[in-house]
């Protein structure tokens, strides 16, 4: 008898998410079928829903923050067992033959794949993925907590640990949203003097609960001046989507300081060239990471107590959950649970 499952799919660009029945996929060579236990809803899922990512084939099931258990293992796959808890994030596989892959930079593969974009993702009861995308989930980490860490978590954690900043130095996190509230936790747990920057004085207490040592209200204070008074930020982790907010923070970098851009800005980032030259200050973008980076993120989060703040919806309410994410009112990550 053919097994079926429920998925939340988009029939065409701009169409609503609808619950439909599909056959449960089978694991082909080099692939694994995962039974989805939780899937985070990321703003990047709008690339699929709105059709703004070129080349998407429809209908398509979104979702790239997938936590689940291995259901079936395809031919040629080694190192994994049925029933094992695994996660899949933005990194959905690499080609292995482009110049970037040959140099080991798999996350920037010229032919790289993304779950929910290149193939059906985690808004479903089951998902079929390349075995190379899997990360182990620690037993102490709940599925609904693990899912957002596979995108928002790895992006902030991996950026910090690759930034060159050392424990004790000042790290400023610009924004306290889905990425920012995790970045503050990671920065504090990693031993950095952590500064949270957000809009409104009322967010100060929450920032300190997350581990921030200092809070800057960008609506009432000059961000660059406050950071300079603290000795300057070695790293500004820009998790917001405001180009102006990033521009305003650049002057608060220390000598050899770096702004690491994680959010897609709504406008260009403007920097003072004299500040850049005379302080050797720089701006660098950072993508998420590969499966091993996801695994490191999950392991560190489990050990250190870093957890996302989430709102959980059943799969049947995927359209409502997606709208909640788009509204900007969610605190802070929305998670689907089949």
With contact defined as beta carbons under 8 Å apart, do 81 and 70 qualify?
yes
Give the separation between CA 175 and CA 187, rounded to whole angstroms: 13
Residue spans of the chain under pLDDT 50: none
DSSP code at position 303: H
Residues 13-68 have pLDDT tens digits of 999 999 999 999 999 999 999 999 999 999 999 999 999 999 999 999 999 999 99
Give the separation between CA 295 and CA 289, rounded to whole angstroms: 10
The β-bridge relationship of strands 170-174 and 17-23 is unpaired
Strand residue runs (E) in the chain: 4-10, 17-23, 31-41, 65-73, 85-88, 126-130, 135-136, 170-174, 193-198, 214-217, 233-238, 253-261, 282-285, 310-314, 333-337
Residue 86 confidence (pLDDT): 98
DSSP code at position 324: H
For residue 84, count other CB atoms closer than 10 A to its CB: 16
Residue 289 confidence (pLDDT): 97
Residue 1 confidence (pLDDT): 74
- Output the pTM of the full model: 0.96
Residues 163-198 have pLDDT tens digits of 999 999 999 999 999 999 999 999 999 999 999 999
With contact defined as beta carbons under 8 Å apart, do 135 and 295 qualify?
yes
Residue among 13, 131, 112 at smallest CA distance from 62: 13
3-state secondary structure of 210: helix
Residue 2 confidence (pLDDT): 87
The β-bridge relationship of strands 233-238 and 170-174 is parallel
Supply the DSSP string of 243-273, one letter for each residue.
HHHHHHHHTTEEEEEEEEE-S--SS-----H
CA 206 to chain centre: 21
Q: Which residues lie across from 43 on neighbouring strands?
A: none
Strand residue runs (E) in 132-211: 135-136, 170-174, 193-198
Tokens of 115: 């779950």
Residue 216 confidence (pLDDT): 98
DSSP code at position 124: B
59 upstream amide cis, omega within 30 of 0: yes
In the chain the first and final C-alpha atoms are separated, in Å, by 22
Residue among 295, 338, 242, 294 at smallest CA distance from 40: 338
Residue 213 confidence (pLDDT): 98
Q: Which residues lie across from 128 on neighbouring strands?
A: 33
3-state secondary structure of 67: strand
């Amino acid at each position: 008898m053919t097994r079926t499952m429920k998925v939340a799919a988009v029939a065409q660009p701009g169409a609503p998410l609808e619950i439909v029945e599909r056959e449960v996929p089978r694991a082909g060579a080099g692939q694994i079928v995962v039974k989805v236990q939780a899937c985070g809803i990321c703003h990047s899922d709008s690339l699929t829903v709105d059709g703004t990512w070129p080349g998407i084939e429809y209908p398509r099931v979104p979702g790239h923050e997938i936590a689940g258990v291995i259901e079936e293992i395809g031919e040629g796959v080694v190192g994994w067992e049925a029933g094992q808890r695994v996660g899949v994030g933005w990194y959905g596989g690499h080609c292995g033959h482009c110049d970037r892959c040959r140099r080991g930079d798999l996350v920037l593969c010229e032919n790289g794949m993304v779950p929910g974009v290149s193939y059906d993702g985690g808004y479903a009861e089951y998902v079929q993925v390349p075995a190379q995308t899997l990360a182990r989930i620690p037993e102490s980490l709940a599925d609904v907590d693990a899912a957002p860490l596979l995108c928002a978590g790895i992006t902030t954690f991996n950026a910090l640990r690759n930034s060159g900043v050392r424990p004790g130095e000042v790290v400023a996190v610009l924004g306290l949203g889905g990425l920012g509230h995790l970045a503050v936790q990671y920065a504090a747990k990693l031993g950095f003097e952590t500064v949270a920057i957000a809009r409104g004085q009322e967010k100060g207490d929450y920032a300190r609960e997350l581990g921030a040592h200092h809070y800057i209200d960008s609506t009432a204070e000059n961000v660059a001046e406050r950071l300079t008074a603290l000795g300057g930020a070695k790293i500004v982790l820009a998790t917001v989507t405001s180009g102006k907010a990033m521009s305003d923070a650049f002057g608060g970098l220390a000598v050899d300081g770096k702004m690491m851009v994680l959010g897609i800005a709504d406008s260009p980032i403007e920097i003072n060239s004299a500040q850049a030259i005379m302080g050797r200050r720089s701006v660098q973008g950072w993508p998420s990471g590969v499966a091993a980076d996801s695994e490191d993120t999950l392991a560190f989060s489990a050990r250190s107590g870093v957890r996302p703040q989430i709102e959980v919806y059943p799969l049947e309410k995927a359209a409502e959950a997606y709208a909640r994410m788009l509204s900007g009112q969610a605190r802070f990550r929305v998670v689907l649970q089949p």
